[in-house]
Amino acid sequence: MRRLRVRRKKKKRNKTVSKGEIYLAFCVKMEARKKKIKKMQNAQDRTNKTDRTDALIESPSEKLMFTSGGYRDLKSFQMSTLVYDLTVEFCKKFLDFRSRTNDQMVQAARSGRQNIAEGSRAAGTSKNTELKLTNVARASLEELLLDYEDFLRQRNLKLWPKDFPQAKAVRNLCYNNPSYASYRSYLQEAESAANMLICLIHQTNYLLDRQLAKLSADFVQQGGFNERMHQKRSEWRKMNY
């Protein structure tokens, strides 16, 4: 009988790997791992920079532009509006419409009101402009005050002293939401009309003096728009470079 030959599978010999090859494979693996970690860190850094930039832009306390507008809520603007409206009525009743004084008084009253509004609106990008225009408003009302004093003096009319009862009554009107109607009764006679407006101008000037002092203090503490713009630019560069 023929013997069956059993083929035995030859065992594969393990290939001998050198130490150099093992070290090289380890280095490649570690390099790939480092690249992966660095990629994850870069992605996280970009996210953090975006978050910080968004916070810098959106944070109300760190806005680039200053708060501006809102002049209609200013007591000085409300009082200057009364001075302007009452001056227009005064000039219609007691001055020749063709006279130069008529035009100058109306323009001075208007300048006092308009410059408060313009300065408040410009405050967003220039505290310096706001200060200048508010001071122009103050100067215009001072000019108007002299015009009313001249009106009384040149017509031999009485200038009410500060403690005069009617002067006190006029000053007290401003504490109860004053309007044009509150002062209309004083426009019947030239003397009472001019003195009433002198009292109003003094009160408005007092408010403007306080407003100027506050604006000056804010400018010293917060700086101007150019300083804030440079500061914001520097902060952004530090975050993104």
Q: For residues 185 and 180, give the distance between their C-alpha atoms in angstroms, rounded to a whole number.
A: 10
- DSSP secondary structure string for all residues of the chain: -PPPPPPPPPPPPPPPPPHHHHHHHHHHHHHHHHHHHHHHHHHHHHHHHHHHHHHHHH-GGG-SSPP---GGG-HHHHHHHHHHHHHHHHHHHHS-TTSHHHHHHHHHHHHHHHHHHHHHHHTTT-HHHHHHHHHHHHHHHHHHHHHHHHHHHHTTPPPPPTT-HHHHHHHHGGGS---HHHHGGGGSSHHHHHHHHHHHHHHHHHHHHHHHHHHHHHHHHH--HHHHHHHHHHHHHHHH-
pLDDT tens-digit map of 186-221: 999 999 999 999 999 999 999 999 999 988 887 777
pLDDT score at 60 = 42
163 domain residue, yes or no = yes
120 in any annotated domain: yes
Taking 90 as the threshold, does the pLDDT of residue 16 lie above it? no
In a domain, 34, yes or no: no
pLDDT over 60 (residue 51): no
Could you say which DSSP state residue 16 is in?
P
pLDDT of residue 63: 61
* Prediction pTM value: 0.67
Domain membership flag for residue 154: yes
Q: Please report which confidence band the pLDDT of residue 224 belongs to, taking 50, 70 and 90 as the band edges.
A: low
Q: Is residue 121 part of a domain?
A: yes
| Higher-confidence position of 27 and 109 | 109
Residue holding tokens 């419409």?
97
Count up the domains in the chain and report the number: 1
Query: Does residue 96 fall inside a structural domain?
Result: yes
The pLDDT, as a whole number, for residue 33 is 80
For the chain, percent of residues with pLDDT exceeding 70: 71
Contacts of 102 (CB under 8 A, 6+ apart): 91, 95, 96
Encode 23-58: b = buried (16+ Cβ within 10 Å), e = exposed. eeeeeeeeeeeeeeeeeeeeeeeeeeeeeeeeeeee
The pLDDT mean for the chain works out to 81
Which DSSP category does 187 fall into?
A: G
Q: Which domain holds residue 167?
A: 71-237
pLDDT band at 231 (very low <50, low <70, confident <90, very high): low
Q: Is residue 15 part of a domain?
A: no
Check: CB of residue 136 under 8 Å from CB of residue 110.
no
Per the domain annotation, does 145 fall within a domain? yes
Which of 121-125, 148-152, 231-235 has the least mean pLDDT? 231-235
